[in-house]
Structure formats: C-alpha cells, structure tokens
Amino acid sequence: MSQQSPLLPQNKARVALDRSEAVTWRGRGIVVDLFRFSNTICALLESGRRDVRVYAAPSLALAARSREKNADLFSEIDLGPGVDKYDNSPYTALYGSDPSRPALSVTNSGSPAAASLLLAEEILVACFANFPALVSYCLADPRPTLIVPACLFYDSRHVEDVICARALEDELGGKDAFPRALEEIHASGRVLDFMAGRPETGKRDMELALKKGYMKAVPRIKFRAGAGIVDNAAAAGDGR
C-alpha cells in the first residue's frame, strides 16, 4: 500500500506551478512534455523497445552512448560535432527507428522534469496519446498526484505543457477536457511555431501529439545511478 502524502488526499491531483514543488514531492509524479518528450517516450515503448532510458543531462547520455555503440540517442539538443542521434521526434520513435536497439533520451525540458522527481514514489509520463490508459492506471491505484508541466524546467512559453497538465487534472477527476485543451493549444500559436521549426517531421509529430488515446503505454521511470529506466506500468503485471 502506498504511503499517503500529507499534501493531498489519496485521490487528489494538482498541477505544479513551480519546479521546487517537483523536487520535494513524495507522491505520484506525472511529467507532461506534450510536443516531444512525452510522446517520444510513449512511442518508443509502443514500437516495441525493451530498453528505454532517460537522462537528466547531455553528459550522462553521451557517456552511456559511448559505452553502448548500438544504442540510439534521441534528443533535440545540439550535442556537438560527430554525435549520431535522432531528433526528439515521436514520429521517428514510432515509425523511423529500429525497435530492437536500446534508446537513450535526453531533452531540454522533459528529462530534467522527470529527474526532478527523485523523491516521488512513482514517476509517470503523460500526453494526450496515452490519456485513457494513464487515467485508468491511476484510478485503479489512487495516490496523491503532482502533474509537472515540463516547461517549468526550460521555457515557460511552451504553454501546451500547462494546458495538457490541466486537462489531465480534469480527466483524473472524471471530466473530458480534451476538446477544450486542443482548442486552447491551437489558439496559442504553438502548433504553427513548432511545425515551422521542424520541417522534416514537425507536421507528423503534431498529428500524433494532438491525437487522444491512440497509444496504450504508460511510461514509468525509475532512476538508478543517473539513468532513468523506463518500463510500461500498464503492462507490468503487479504494477510496481
């Protein structure tokens, strides 16, 4: 049985307003980095990857990559000359890479947000694509829950993370918040900004990121020795 947090009732969720809340949180933490990290991690699991790892900093990911030459690196960060990597692209993760290889992820906002939750009893990853599966998982085992918009750790202008986090808070409370959230994200202009900056896969990434319920994976991250080991909580048997 999970230990009840003094901050929230057992079945209550709320959205973090500051990164310091994530650092001290001891209940269930859910990271939302809507346009890339969250969907990319879900897509890696959906594609059949058995070895998916998240790193808080480029140096850690590059060290792991140097040890494992057959691993694929996913990142939007400029990691220097000669670094062979995929973009942090959900479409590429799902359809354009080899699922038999280990996958290493380091990003500007999503992976630092996940790593900030080191005290949390459980770390999950959410996006519209896995809303139904994630909500079902959480309601089957209610815990005090902090939903962490990853933009708190990089760029507050990435409002889609906050919008999605608020929608998830509503969904956990039994409300279908997706239509309103989708309208708000389009009105923000962020979709067009993203596609303009990602001419190769941006449109296809957005088609995935703004579609609800097509992925069943519930990524769960457990940090060990600097690496966030990802498994699918929805398919983990005992769920722990």
How much is the average pLDDT of 131-160? 97
Work out the number of other CB atoms within 10 angstroms of the CB of residue 196: 9
Burial letters 215-231, b for 16+ CB under 10 A, else e = bbbbbbbebeeebbebb
The residues, any chain, with a CB within 8 Å of residue 1's CB and separated by 6 or more, are none
| Percentage of the chain lying above the pLDDT 70 cut | 93
Question: What is d(CA 30, CA 38) in angstroms, rounded to the nearest whole number?
Answer: 10
How much is the average pLDDT of 129-141? 97
Q: What is the pLDDT of residue 199?
A: 85
Output the DSSP codes for 104-124. Answer: EE--SSHHHHHHTTTTSSEEE
Q: What is the pLDDT of residues 200-234, one digit of tens each?
A: 899 999 999 999 999 999 999 999 999 999 999 99
9 band by pLDDT with thresholds 50, 70 and 90: low
10 band by pLDDT with thresholds 50, 70 and 90: low
Q: What is the pLDDT of residue 231?
A: 98
Q: Is 227 in a helix, a strand, or coil?
A: strand
Q: Is 83 in a helix, a strand, or coil?
A: coil
Between residues 26 and 237, the one the model is more confident about: 26
Question: What is d(CA 44, CA 120) in angstroms, rounded to the nearest whole number?
Answer: 23
Selection from 164, 131, 110, 165 nearest residue 234 by Cα = 131
User: Taking 50 as the threshold, does the pLDDT of residue 132 lie above it?
Assistant: yes
Q: What is the pLDDT of residue 6?
A: 45
Question: What is d(CA 200, CA 26) in angstroms, rounded to the nearest whole number?
Answer: 40
Name all domains of the chain by residue range, CATH numbers in brackets: 13-234 (3.90.1560.10)
How much is the average pLDDT of 101-121? 98
pTM: 0.93
User: Taking 70 as the threshold, does the pLDDT of residue 90 lie above it?
Assistant: yes
Q: What is the pLDDT of residues 13-72, one digit of tens each?
A: 999 999 999 999 999 999 999 999 999 999 999 999 999 999 999 999 999 999 998 999
For the chain, the 3-state helix, strand and coil shares in percent, each to the nearest 5, are: 40, 15, 40
| Cβ pair 36, 107 in contact under 8 A | yes
Average pLDDT, the chain: 93
Burial, 206: exposed, middle or buried (Cβ in 10 Å; 0-12, 13-18, 19+)? buried
230: β partners:
52, 221
